[in-house]
């Protein structure tokens, strides 16, 4: 097993997780999709506060994740120079784990969340992942519907998973071809 991990670890180089900014079109509207940077942390925290009214992630968590460029990819969506959505994913030997996805409330229901999830599922397939996983608040029915529509299945419930308010989380996973 260790040999298999080392083999995977050695093939996953920073070059493989590089990302070039690009213009995307979602529902006939153009946005900039680019790699998230440390300069985006305040905007990311503001989006999370507008969504959750608390911040599941703190500044340190974002900085820590953004520095793991060899095995993670954090992307930001911009509209007119303002960050309006983000997604972060860890890539391990056999799975891609979506650590964070957030769309500013003013931009929800416009297809950005679906686009970002489909984009990361595509990356997971490219990197040879066997499945994509994530956690979602058990009371977040809108997000669960999105994930189910993308082929995710329900896993176990993690009681009190979200520290800030002790909400439960549902593990979800999607096997990949």
**Is 130 an active-site residue?**
no
Each domain of the chain, given as residue ranges in start order, spans 20-173
pLDDT of residue 16: 54
Q: What gap in Å lies between CA 175 and CA 139, rounded to an integer?
A: 23
Q: Which of 61, 21, 57, 17 lies closest to 38 in space, CA to CA?
A: 61
Burial 2-39 (b: 16+ CB within 10 A, else e): eeeeeeeeeebeeeebeeeeeeeebeeeebbbbbbeee
pLDDT of 14 over the 90 cut: no
What fold, for 20-173?
Aminopeptidase (3.40.630)
Catalytic residue among 65, 135, 161, 162: 135
pLDDT digits (tens, 9 = 90+) for 146-163: 999 999 999 999 987 876
pLDDT given at position 12 = 45
Is 60 annotated in the active site? no
Catalytic hit among 31, 107, 127, 147: 147
Model pLDDT for residues 44-98, shown as the tens digit of each residue: 999 999 998 876 688 999 999 998 888 899 999 999 999 999 999 999 889 999 9
Render pLDDT for 91-133 as a digit per residue (tens, 0 to 9): 988 999 999 999 999 999 999 999 999 999 999 999 999 999 9
Q: Is the pLDDT of residue 7 over 80?
A: no
pLDDT band at 166 (very low <50, low <70, confident <90, very high): confident
Side by side, which strands form the sheet with 29-35?
22-26, 29-35, 72-79, 82-91, 95-103, 131-137, 167-175, 153-162
Strand bridging mode 29-35 / 131-137: unpaired
């Amino acid at each position: 097993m260790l040999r298999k991990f080392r083999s995977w670890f050695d093939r996953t180089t920073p070059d493989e997780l590089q990302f070039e900014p690009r213009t995307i079109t979602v529902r006939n509207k153009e946005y900039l999709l680019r790699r998230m940077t440390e300069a985006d942390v305040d905007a990311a925290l503001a989006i999370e506060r507008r969504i959750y009214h608390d911040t599941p992630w703190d500044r340190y968590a974002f900085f820590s994740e953004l520095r793991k460029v060899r095995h993670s990819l954090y992307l930001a969506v911009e509209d007119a120079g303002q960050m309006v959505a983000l997604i972060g994913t860890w890539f391990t030997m056999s799975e891609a784990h979506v650590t964070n996805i957030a769309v500013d409330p003013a931009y929800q229901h416009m297809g950005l969340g679906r686009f970002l999830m489909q984009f990361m599922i595509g990356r997971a397939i490219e990197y040879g992942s066997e499945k994509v996983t994530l956690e979602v608040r058990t009371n977040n029915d809108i997000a669960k519907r999105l994930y189910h529509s993308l082929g995710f299945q329900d896993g176990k419930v993690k009681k009190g998973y979200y520290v800030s308010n002790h909400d439960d989380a549902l593990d979800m996973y999607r096997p990949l071809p």
